[in-house]
Amino acid sequence: MRSAGKAAIWVAFSKWLGLLSGLVSLVVVARLLTPEDFGVYGFLLIVLVIPEVFSSDSLNEVLIQRTDLKTEHSNSVFLSSLCFAALFFGLIQLSAPYIAVLFDVPPLVDYLRVMSLVLFMGALSAVPAALLQRHMQFREITIVDVVGYIVGAIVGVSCAILFQNAWALVAMEMSRRFARMLAFLYFAKWWPSFRTNLIEFKSLLRFKMASIGLRLVAAGDLGLPRLFVGLFLGPAALGMFNLAMRIQNQAMQALVSPFGAVAFPVASKTQNDLPTLYKTMSTAIWLAGFIAYPAFIGAAAAAPVIVPVVFGDQWNDAIIAIQISMLMGIRLPSSAFNGGVLRGVGRPGLLLKVSVFALLVLLVMLPFASRVSLEAVMIALAFQKFLGWFLSSWAVYRAVKFPITRQILAGSSVLIAALVMGGGIWWAAGHLPDDWSDLTRVAAIIGLGIALYVAGLLIAAPAMAKRGMSSMVMLLKGDRKMAIANLRKVS
């Protein structure tokens, strides 16, 4: 519990810095670029989503899960990742012109050929990243993330000012990954080696295949909506979809990932001590919801006021898509832990079955939704995400007997308070005086949201609200031991 708490604090620090730098760079870049530029970048993500499954971090999870780890295991993962990176890099170089014709975006050829270099960066980062996570060295991982965020933001904003096209997004992502690769290699004190043997490779194969299967399904979740939106609704709609999902992802990384990131290693270490695992999950779900529920629901309610001010009027057509993407975040405080727990207790196959079923449901809905509108695609995606959350909660119950009702009720009080807050913001957004400036309107909405959420918490769960707020104050003051001890009492 103590190690998990410290790890979560370090990850939280990293993700909050990432959210700050990411939002600043995203706002600047979004105001300089167009939805079409984001759409071009979206096509790159579609093409690279499957290759990255094999060349990046899908193979390294086995290094975290194994109790006995040898040098040959690490080398086996590295060689597998490198071979896949080289294979897909070559295929993309050859097929780039045909892919550009398929999407009817001629400039995509050069973008693809340059962006595919990230496959090698992923192959070189996979093993050192896993070794740091295995030993729960989240302080070092935090430094890696911060370096990547800062470098990416500086390069991305500079290129957006200079070029004002999709190359800014490419440069932002490539520079971020390159900086992370160098930092991972430095902190893990690991250097690539080709020394391995067939026996050790085979010992990893079973877990690898399940892990790769899960990543392929996740890649389908990520790539299929983009593919259908790009093909049937065009680059501008794809750009709006990418912005909506990127905002959700950055919010998730900052608000939920600090707790979800420790689920895998903690579950691996406590798989034979279920009471400790239950207590850790209950505490983490409540605290993640305490932070995430008001952020997601408040952002959805305030989007009509905030989006034009922050991103510019060219993104007004994306407001509904952004609202739906934010409401999807309601499931995250619980679902973020499910995958890590199932992998940590050695049940990735069960998670794979659930994920495949949810992906098939999405595949059935997308051809119809993509012919209607971007909003219809977002609604279909939201339905699939909530269905997947329920099924993964059931899978956790099957694996470790952690009740579904306990997963839901762990954050029910803060969810109720956040819904009350969201209703108040939604009403106020339509009744603000017209003569107020944009910044005044935004400040009023945010201030009202904070006041309503605190009031709702004090009514719905006064004891837990006070303890949760005091824990946050302790974290901000750097008193980690007292904060962790206080959080234990929440569960």
Segment 244-295, tens digit of pLDDT: 998 888 778 777 766 666 666 666 666 667 777 777 777 777 777 888 889 8
Q: How far apart are CA 250 and CA 58, in angstroms?
A: 21
- pLDDT, position 19: 62
Across 38-42, 234-238, 401-405, least confident range: 401-405
1, pLDDT greater than 60? no
Q: Which residue has the higher pLDDT, 256 or 189?
A: 189
309, pLDDT greater than 80? yes
Q: Quick check: 424 and 449 in contact, CB under 8 A?
A: yes
Amino acid at 124: L
Q: Which residue has the higher pLDDT, 378 or 416?
A: 378
Amino acid at 134: R
- pLDDT, position 105: 87
82, pLDDT greater than 80? yes
Cα distances from 456 to residues 330, 336, 465, in angstroms, run: 17, 25, 9
Tell whether the torsion through CA atoms of 203, 205, 206 and 211 is positive or negative: positive
453, pLDDT greater than 70? yes
Q: Structure tokens of 221?
A: 């979740």
Q: Structure tokens of 289?
A: 């919801």
Q: Which residue has the higher pLDDT, 260 or 27?
A: 27
Strand locations in 315-386, DSSP E? none
Residue 335: CB atoms within 10 Å: 22
- pLDDT, position 111: 94
319, pLDDT greater than 90? yes
Mean pLDDT of 325-339: 83
Q: How far apart are CA 94 and CA 112, in angstroms?
A: 10
pLDDT bucket at 365, cuts 50 / 70 / 90: very high
Question: What's the mean pLDDT when you consider all of the chain?
Answer: 80
Q: How far apart are CA 437 and CA 35, in angstroms?
A: 26
Tell whether the torsion through CA atoms of 252, 121, 175 and 229 is positive or negative: negative
- pLDDT, position 115: 94
Q: How far apart are CA 208 and CA 437, in angstroms?
A: 55
Q: Which residue has the higher pLDDT, 476 or 149?
A: 149
Q: In 3D, which of 250, 315, 241 has the Cα closest to residue 32? A: 315
Determine phi and psi for 323, rounding to 5 degrees. Answer: -60, -45
- pLDDT, position 491: 47
Which tens digit of pLDDT belongs to each residue from 157-179? 899 898 888 899 999 999 999 99
422, pLDDT greater than 70? yes
Q: In 3D, which of 490, 25, 27 has the Cα closest to residue 259? A: 490
415, pLDDT greater than 90? no
**If residue 186 lies in a helix (H) or strand (E), which one and from where to where?**
helix 167-188
- pLDDT, position 31: 83
Q: How far apart are CA 119 and CA 95, in angstroms?
A: 16
57, pLDDT greater than 70? no
Which tens digit of pLDDT belongs to each residue from 209-243? 656 666 777 778 888 899 999 989 988 899 999 88
Residue 390: CB atoms within 10 Å: 17
Mean pLDDT of 197-217: 62
206, pLDDT greater than 70? no
- pLDDT, position 384: 92
Q: Which residue has the higher pLDDT, 214 or 317?
A: 317
Instruction: Count the residues in the chain.
Output: 491
Mean pLDDT of 401-411: 77
- % of the chain with per-residue pLDDT over 70: 76
